[in-house]
Copies of this chain bind each other. A is one copy, B any other.
Amino acid sequence: MEELLERLLEECRPYTTAGKAADYIPELAKKDPSALGVYVIGSEGKHSWAGDCRQPFTLQSMVKPILLLQALLDNGACAIQSKVGVEATGKPFDAINAGERTLDSRHINPMVNMGAIVMCTLIHGSSYEERFQRLMKLTGQLVGDDTITIDQAVYLSEKSHGSKNRALAYLLKSHGILEDDVEEVLDCYFRACSIQVDCRGLAHMGAVLANRGRLPDSNRRIFPAPLARYVNAILMTCGMYDGSGEFAIRVGIPAKSGVSGGIMAVVPTRMGIGIYSPALDQKGNSVAGIRLLEKLSQELYLSIF
């Protein structure tokens, strides 16, 4: 397996020059665009890796399935779906999903910014500090590391460049979907996006979802199986932004990307995969990362279709 990962990594390295690192906040633009790493954790706990798989980066949109999972745990699936929908929007992740007079909950989903912001308001807690701490605890279990922290520089950078997210949040508030203080909600969201992980953590999270809620090492259940199926399904249809349809055809597994260049992929019953390569395509997905997953899927017949 290690040999295979090394070979595919070398084959995909040229693609790191075919995209560019996110630059909407200065902190992300500082990352080395030539980095490339992959980490695989099998359902039974076997680890394999290659390349820059221990470099730290922030979760960004990859925190969205975690926000969804915590909101599902706290409220149940019905309550979530009454607030936001689950359909692909056919639009970029930060789109203004509003018509002239209406904001249709069916056009928001937990994998786009609007929906993820709503998830923050659905996590239980007496304060936003408490909500965030509960999210951190779940995140720690998912990535298999309870020492995770947030990247302060990225967090502050997000916070000071967050006009688009503020617009989305105030729009939600004007339509009565968000009731709490916008700045407090967004602070929680910006902190969540700034949680620092590495490929190993992403692979661990993928393995927990692949095992439908059980930890790969101990097999201990940390959340019910139906919630894993829920999250995996929405990752399949909406996890790769408006590139999800093509990813389903080319790779064929549930996955979530982030603008930091990470991809967290789930091969149900088989393995979790973590990828890092910050050069992005126009949709915000890692170019070399998708290519690597495509090759891995072909070699190991990972597609679920």
B229 in contact with A303 (CB, 8 Å):
yes
A168 to B169, CA, bound (A): 11
B88 in contact with A90 (CB, 8 Å):
yes
Minimum distance in angstroms from A187 CB to a CB of chain B: 15
A100 in contact with B92 (CB, 8 Å):
yes
**Which B-chain residue is minimally distant from A298 (CB atoms)?**
B226
A169 to B171, CA, bound (A): 11
- Contact size range, A: 35 or more
Q: Given A90-B90, A167-B170, answer yes or no on A248-B237 (Cβ-Cβ < 8 Å).
A: yes
B237 in contact with A252 (CB, 8 Å):
no
A254 in contact with B305 (CB, 8 Å):
yes
Among B90, B107, B248, contact of A236 (Cβ-Cβ < 8 Å): B248
Chain A contact residues, majority secondary structure: helix
12 A-B residue pairs with Cβ-Cβ distance under 8 Å, sorted by A, are A81-B246, A88-B244, A90-B90, A96-B100, A163-B174, A164-B174, A167-B168, A167-B173, A233-B303, A236-B248, A268-B305, A304-B305
From residue 225 to 248 of chain A, which have CB atoms closer than 8 A to chain B?
Answer: 228-230, 232-234, 236-238, 242-246, 248
Minimum distance in angstroms from A181 CB to a CB of chain B: 11
B252 in contact with A233 (CB, 8 Å):
yes
* Oligomeric state, in copies: 4
Among B90, B230, B249, B303, contact of A249 (Cβ-Cβ < 8 Å): B230
A287 to B304, CA, bound (A): 26
A234 in contact with B249 (CB, 8 Å):
yes
Q: Which B residues touch A303, using CB under 8 A?
A: 229, 233
From residue 69 to 104 of chain A, which have CB atoms closer than 8 A to chain B?
Answer: 77, 81, 85-92, 95-96, 98, 100-101
| CB of A109 within 8 Å of the partner chain | yes
Q: Which B residues touch A245, using CB under 8 A?
A: 85-88, 109, 233-234, 237-238
**Which B-chain residue is minimally distant from A171 (CB atoms)?**
B167
From residue 152 to 170 of chain A, which have CB atoms closer than 8 A to chain B?
Answer: 163-164, 166-170
Q: Which B residues touch A109, using CB under 8 A?
A: 245
Q: Which B residues touch A182, using CB under 8 A?
A: 163, 166
A245 to B171, CA, bound (A): 24
